[in-house]
Amino acid sequence: MDTEQLDRLNILVVGSSNTDMVIKAGHLPRPGETIVGGTFFMNPGGKGANQAVTIARLGASVTFICKTGSDIFGHQSQQLFEEEGINTSYIFSDSEHPSGVALITVDDHAENCIVVASGANANLLPADLVKAEEAIDQADIVLMQLEIPMETVEYVAEIAYRKHKKVILNPAPAHPLSPSLLKHLYMITPNETEAEMISGVKITDRESAVKAACILSEMGVENVIITLGSKGALVYGAEEADFVPALKVEAVDTTAAGDVFNGALTVALSEGRSQLEAVRFACKASAISVTRVGAQSSVPYRSEVDIFE
C-alpha cells in the first residue's frame, strides 16, 4: 500500500467516546447475582472513538467529532486521540455533563454485556455540528453509529448526503431508523440483532440474512453489509449477495469487534477497494481484535492486519 493511496480520502467519524470499566468474570451475572473473583481494568472505549482509533491505526486520515465532559476522562480521551494522530479540532467539551462511561462484564466465552451512562455523548446536538460543518465539507466518507442523539445522526446524514459525501451508518446499538435517514445513507452495516430490528426479519440462516438485507435495500440504502459474528458477514449490493467467512481465532473478548470491523471497512473503501475486498480486510482486523481484551486496547495496527492470514 503506498502512502499516496492511503492519503487519498478523508474520513469523518461522528459518535461517542466512553471510558470503559471492565470486569472479566467467569460468567455474565443474572439479575440480583453477585459474582466474586473477577479482574478489573479500565480502557478507552465508545463506539465512535473505537472506530476513529481503528481508522487512525490502519493508516487513514480521520477527524473525530464527539462531546466529552470537562473532567479527567474527557481530558484523557482528548490526549489519547491526539496521540493516535486523529484530528481533534471538533471535540466539544461539556461543562454540564460528565464524560460517557461504560460498565462492561466479559465472560469466559468472550461474550460481554455493556451498560452505558452516555453523559456528554447524549448532548452532542445538531447545534454543535453546525459549528463543525467545515469538517463535513472536508470529508469524503462520514461514519456514524447510534450512541449519540438520533437527531444529530439524522442532521449529519442529511447535510453530508446533500454535499455528496458517502454516509456509512453502523446502527449500533439497535434502534429503529426513520425512512429519511435510510435514504441519506450510502451504506448500512448492522449486526444480526440490528438488521432484525430495522427490517423486521429474524435472521437464523443465510437465506433470512439475504431477505433482511433485501428489505433494507428496498428501504432506500444502496449497500447493505450484515455482520454475522463468528459466521462472518453478508455483502449485499445491487448486483449480488456474497458471504465472507470469519477467520478462526481464539477469542478472549468480543468488545469492540464490530467497531474495528466498521473502522477497517471504511478505511478499505476509502482506498478504493471493492466492497468484498473491504469486508475481507475488516474481517481480518476484527478477528485480531477479539484475541485481545478491551476496546481500544484491542484495535490492531495496519502492519498486523496486512500480514494476518
Burial of 218 (0-12, 13-18, 19+ CB in 10 A): exposed
Q: Is 97 in the site for ligand RIB (CB under 6 A)?
A: no
Nearer to ligand RIB among residue 88 and residue 286 (C-beta)? 286
Indicate which residue of 140, 242, 259, 306 is catalytic. Answer: 259
Q: Is 260 in the site for ligand RIB (CB under 6 A)?
A: no
Burial of 123 (0-12, 13-18, 19+ CB in 10 A): middle
Q: Is 46 in the site for ligand RIB (CB under 6 A)?
A: yes
Using CB under 6 A as the binding rule, the residues of this chain from 140 to 179 that contact ligand RIB are 147
Active site residue 259: yes
Minimum distance, C-beta of residue 233 to ligand RIB, in the bound complex (Å): 16
Select from 258, 189, 279 the least CA-distant residue to 46: 258
Nearer to ligand RIB among residue 63 and residue 105 (C-beta)? 105
Instruction: Say which amino acid occupies 176.
Output: P
Q: Is 54 in the site for ligand RIB (CB under 6 A)?
A: no
DSSP E strands: which ranges in the chain?
A: 10-14, 18-24, 39-45, 61-69, 91-94, 100-106, 112-117, 141-144, 166-169, 187-188, 223-227, 233-236, 241-244
Q: Is 122 in the site for ligand RIB (CB under 6 A)?
A: no
How many chain residues interact with ligand RIB (CB under 6 A)? 16
Contacts with ligand RIB by CB under 6 A lie at: 16, 18, 20, 45-47, 50, 102, 114, 116, 147, 255-256, 258-259, 295
Q: Which residues are catalytic?
A: 259
